Amino acid sequence: MTKTALNIADLSVGTVIGTRTLEISRADLVRYAGASGDFNPIHWNERFARQVELPGVIAHGMFTMGAAVQLVTDWVGDPSAVVSYGTRFTKPVPVADIDDAPGAAVEVTGVVGALDADAGSARIDLTVTLDGQKVLVKAQALVRVA
């Protein structure tokens, strides 16, 4: 499926590019640990996570960050159009053990935060929350548009 190229003239600050719910399971964390090589027990061992004063097993920060930006790459239609992406982590994402069913539902909303016609770019601001609390702040992706 070919996506139509975005035109900066058709965008405006404040436009919502989309919303998505990320349903994260313990199985997702195991797969991510294998792919990333991050086998820290806070991401798979409930007892250990609680011993270090976490609310339980938590999602990898980079997993949450990467899953959230998928909204932007789907919207722009070309992952290489994302020039930069950054965020700050504010709260852990606890993932309950519910027989491989989603143990956390993270909400992601993307909004056009700024436009630069000269550079042909749009800044997309992401709001990423769990149970109404922000888990990422200043989540911003700079995207190249026509």
Give me the pLDDT at residue 99, please. Answer: 76
pLDDT-based confidence at residue 30 (cuts at 50, 70, 90): very high
Tokens of 14: 């404040």
3-state percent helix, strand, coil for the chain, nearest multiple of 5 = 30, 40, 35
Does the domain at residues 8-24+60-144 carry the CATH identifier 3.10.129.10? yes
47-98 pLDDT, tens per residue? Answer: 999 999 999 999 999 999 999 999 999 999 999 999 999 999 999 999 998 7
Between CA 51 and CA 63 the distance in angstroms is: 23
Between CA 28 and CA 79 the distance in angstroms is: 22
Residue 145 has pLDDT above 50, yes or no: yes
pLDDT-based confidence at residue 130 (cuts at 50, 70, 90): very high
Specify the DSSP element, H or E, that contains 2: none
pLDDT-based confidence at residue 102 (cuts at 50, 70, 90): confident
Residue 1 has pLDDT above 50, yes or no: no
pTM assigned to the model: 0.91
Give me the pLDDT at residue 54, please. Answer: 96
79 SS3 class: helix
Give me the pLDDT at residue 4, please. Answer: 56
Average pLDDT over residues 22-39: 96
pLDDT-based confidence at residue 100 (cuts at 50, 70, 90): low
Give me the pLDDT at residue 2, please. Answer: 46
Looking at residue 67, its amino acid is A
